[in-house]
Amino acid sequence: MTFDRRRFLGRTLTWAGSAVAAPAVLRVTRAHAQEVTLKMHHFLPPVTVGHAKFLKPWADKVAAESNGRIKIDIFPSMQLGGTPPQLFDQARDGVADLVWTLPGYTPGRFTGLEAFELPFVANKRALVNSLAVTEYAQQNLKDELKDVHPICVWTHDHGLIHANRQVKTMEDLKGLKLRFPTRLAGEALRALGANAIGMPVPQVPESLAQRVIDGCVVPWEVVPSIKVHELVKYHTEIPGSPTFYVATFVLAMNKAKYEALAPDLRAVIDKNSGAVAAGMAGRVWDEQAIVVSDMVRKRGNTITVIDESEAARWRKTTEPVIENWLKTTKEKGLDGEKLLADARAAIARHEKAA
């Protein structure tokens, strides 16, 4: 057999070219698999529990389950500009792809969600409320949240009164300048005799330090991140459920961005939406309530739990807030009685199941 050097070299070069080209083919194939980077925007610092123990783990879970094809960059502390009340519209308008916001920052806009923020309606536990408001939202809030793609809604655990003097009774609230987070919490505080002042939570530390306010109404979770336990020494809990107040939160996505995702990537987002995401958030807030209250107690601050008879006085005194809300919903063409009944029923169901 005659050795054909030219044919051998030709075949060798062909094989070598194929070997070199193969990785390039693989790279092209991977490049065609859609990869998306999403910008998430919110109003609190990265050291806060909401960021570190909910939003980042949620973003990491989405990234892992998409095999890295979805990457979520988080911009805390309003780093993309604007103010906390503008966050919902930033998701609507595409300024951010995802936002975490407090609907209470835009009073009267999210009337349906306010059913959970009424005084002495919500449960003491965040998990119960979060699963309940998820169910409620699916039934009642499609129109209210139609401008965005909702990932989840949830609430924190029971809110407390943190002040520079001890609060044991309604009379102790008279004239006390207290920051409130939602319209209805403000109305409830006024009904109880306090001087209620609205402001976003990032403004609380400076306002406490400068004596613009005497205290604030926030859940335990947020206390360390805004140094409430260092700026005031007294903390007042309302016993049992229903509790004095909670605030609702929304994690929302720009609709066009969601709809532009490949179907399998939308499925990853969907899998981590609704009760799954709300449950993650609710558990975090409940866990932190125990951790932070223990820390505050060990620090030497005074935690007061008002007695049941006093709590009954507070419930009775704040009933006009609910009555006024029902009147307002009727004026807006909404069935407030049904919304409130649905909220209470959902809370009761999840309280039994939790």
Name the residue ranges covered by the structural domains of the chain: 35-354
pLDDT tens digits for 205-228? Answer: 999 999 999 999 999 999 998 999
The CATH superfamily holding the domain 35-354 is Bacterial extracellular solute-binding protein, family 7 (3.40.190.170)
Overall average pLDDT of the 4-12 stretch: 42
Contact status, residue 120 vs residue 242, Cβ threshold 8 Å: yes
Contacts of 60 (CB under 8 A, 6+ apart): none
The pLDDT of residue 285 is 96
Min mean pLDDT across 46-50, 88-92, 313-317 is at 46-50
3 state SS of 319: helix
pLDDT tens digits, 259-305? 999 999 999 999 999 999 999 999 999 999 999 999 999 999 999 99
The tens digit of pLDDT for each residue in 183-198 reads 999 999 999 999 999 9
Query: Average pLDDT in the 81-93 region?
Result: 96
- pTM equals 0.87
Using alpha carbons only, give the angle 335, 338, 339 rounded to the nearest 5 degrees: 85
Residue 343 CB partners (closer than 8 Å, separation 6+): 115, 116, 121, 132, 133, 136
